[in-house]
Amino acid sequence: MSAATYGGKSAIKNYTIGRASALQFCIYDKTVEMKISDKVDFYHQEWGNFSMGTYVPLEPVKRIEARIHHKIMREIGTGMDKDLESFLAVFEHLTDIWRYALIRNRLDLNKTTIDPFWQLILEDAEFYCPADGLHIQRKKKNDVTAVGRNFTAIIGNLISVMARNRDHTHLDVIRQLKQLSCYDDMLSYYRTRNIAPADLVELVRQTLSLRRLTGKSA
């Protein structure tokens, strides 16, 4: 966890907590930022429209942002078995994701009590859709690079051995592969690479012919 403050010790206006490459919170005075970005009229209108009449223009507006890196969002999507690569895919889950972010970076009043304000924005704030109570957890996609290299090596070595005998065809290679207990796993891996079983047969045929043509049989 990393944290930074900006504005000087006597006039701190901004807090940044966490890493930009993961889950980060930024708490700052939006009434100061909107002057710098020259969007005063825009935000006055937006806050007036969406605050249900509670916005007071002369009072400062503090903004709390949960900034979630796209890598983390992808892992959350994997854990939910959903593709969260666009706003349209995410918006219906924003309240649940907001709650996840606040729980992961919870502000406690003491060792036994959550800060009342933090609990308020955790439980009462909603974005577009109410919370579904989803159990959000990050899940990394399985890295199939290593197993892919092993499957490639198995096929390559088998082709090299069988290329020595001109009587062996590419279908003989496929028949040998089918006898392997890992053959179904092999097909599943190649499907993730957009290689169908028929494509694999053609790939074996071409490789067998090439090994014989170049004299690279075992």
Which amino acid, 5?
Answer: T
Instruction: Give residue for tokens 């903004």.
Output: 63
Nearest 5 degrees, angle CA 36-CA 37-CA 41? 105
Taking the alpha carbons at both ends of the chain, their separation in whole angstroms is 54
pLDDT at 3: 56
> The pTM is what?
0.58
Compute the distance between CA of residue 71 and CA of residue 159 in angstroms, rounded to an integer. Answer: 39
Q: How do the pLDDT tens digits run along the chain, 218 residues long?
A: 555 666 666 666 788 888 888 889 898 888 888 888 899 999 988 888 888 778 888 888 888 999 998 888 888 888 888 888 888 889 899 999 999 999 988 889 998 899 999 999 999 988 888 888 888 888 776 666 678 889 999 999 999 999 999 899 999 999 999 999 889 889 888 888 888 899 999 999 999 999 888 877 66
- Strand pairing category for 23-29 and 3-6: unpaired
pLDDT at 141: 66
- Sign, CA dihedral 33-121-21-27, equals positive
Supply φ then ψ for residue 63, to 5 degrees: -115, 135
CB 92 within 8 A of CB 129: yes
